[in-house]
Amino acid sequence: MTTMPASADTHTYPYYPGCSADGVGRGFAGSLHAVFERLGFPLVDLVDWNCCGATAWPSVDDSQALALGARNLALAERARPGSEPVDLVASCAGCYRALLRSAEALARGPTRSRLAGALEAVGLAVEGRARPRHPVDVLVNDVGLDRIRAAVVRPLTGVRVVSYYGCQLVRPLSTFDDEHDPVSMDRLVEAIGAEPVDWPLKTRCCGGSCYCGGPVIGAMPEATMQLSYLLLREASRRGADVIATVCPLCQFNLEGFQDQMARRFGHPLDVPVAFLTQLIGIALGIDDRRLGLHRLLRWRPLPIRTVEPEAAGHARR
């Protein structure tokens, strides 16, 4: 089981936004901050963090790729002196994977000394206290579903949510959920009163992977569109009102090219794709702008079913 955040008095987490947080993933970082703050676990941005290297850097030089993550882990430890573990929250699945790889390399003999030496050259060190955590993991296992349920002021009753976990959230080094059939997101969807829709493509690659949607659409338009289309079609077929994502690249990849896919495959597509934290934020009564709903390219108000007052208490369960 996971432990509570490092400094127990404040319950804050150091946060690694990743490069997309300022670009296509803007609605994610904003809603994440708002939701964690409302739940009493504010996120504090890591100072002067650097890019994780994605999968582009391991394609060129792996020692350097691991060093990039090591610097971020070292910065997180420096920001939280002491002997407690430091949970570094990383919201992009690609960053999360890259940081986990660095943490693993720092824990193992062959790569450890080289990385430690590189860090030492710039006056940094890693004791091994820093642990990359994904916000879905933190919400389910640290914050807890009970606390989230109790904070819901506007349950998303009747809203059918398909959770798309994406490929790199639950593998290869991530351990908080099952790598083939994860459930954490669905449990969160349930906690905010919505209806989780089961489907077989939870972790099937969307084609965006570690390159942002633009470049992959650019690199292999046919392949990317096929992969995304498969997901969007299945979600529509199962009557999803919205697809929930937790990675800026998946979100953009699924949201941004639906018209092109509809033309290409001759089948209309119109499925809103939001960040799960935006849906949680709506249920917690957080302002739409703060959640960045206006930044989505394909958004419409959720079909929240109004319930009779006596039934409302039941729906909150």
DSSP structure class, residue 155: -
Q: Which is nearer to other proteins, 68 or 286 (CB)?
A: 68
Residue 56 interacts with other proteins (CB under 8 A): yes or no: yes
Selected from 48, 146, 308, 310, the binder of other proteins by CB under 8 A is 48
Tokens of 118: 């590189």
Q: Which stretch binds other proteins (CB under 8 A): 138-146, 202-210, 232-240, 309-317?
A: 202-210
| DSSP run (H or E) holding 274 | strand 273-275
Taking the complex as a whole, how short is the minimal distance between the CB of residue 22 and other proteins, in angstroms? 6
Q: Which is nearer to other proteins, 46 or 151 (CB)?
A: 46
Residue 20 interacts with other proteins (CB under 8 A): yes or no: yes
Query: What's the one-letter identity of residue 226?
Result: Q
Q: CA separation (Å) from 53 to 14, 58, 62, 102, 253?
A: 19, 7, 10, 11, 20
DSSP structure class, residue 12: -
Selected from 295, 304, 307, 316, the binder of other proteins by CB under 8 A is 295
With vertex at residue 29, the alpha carbon angle to CA 92 and CA 171, rounded to the nearest 5 degrees, is 20
Q: Which stretch binds other proteins (CB under 8 A): 140-148, 155-163, 209-217, 269-277?
A: 209-217
- Tell me, residue by residue from 92 to 131, as one string, x for binding to other proteins by CB under 8 A and - for no binding: ------------------x---xx-xxx-xx-x-------
- Tell me, residue by residue from 218 to 247, as one string, x for binding to other proteins by CB under 8 A and - for no binding: xxxxxx--xx--------------------
Q: Which is nearer to other proteins, 155 or 256 (CB)?
A: 256
Q: Which residue has the tokens 């960053």?
A: 95
Query: What's the one-letter identity of residue 288?
Result: D
Q: Which residue has the tokens 């994860």?
A: 182
Q: Which is nearer to other proteins, 91 or 157 (CB)?
A: 91
The H-assigned helical ranges of the chain are: 26-38, 62-79, 93-107, 109-120, 135-138, 145-151, 184-191, 213-219, 221-237, 248-255, 258-265, 276-283, 309-316
Residues that bind other proteins (CB under 8 A): 19-20, 22-27, 48-51, 53-64, 66-68, 71, 110, 114-115, 117-119, 121-122, 124, 167-168, 171-172, 179-180, 203-205, 207, 209-212, 214-223, 226-227, 252, 256-257, 294-297
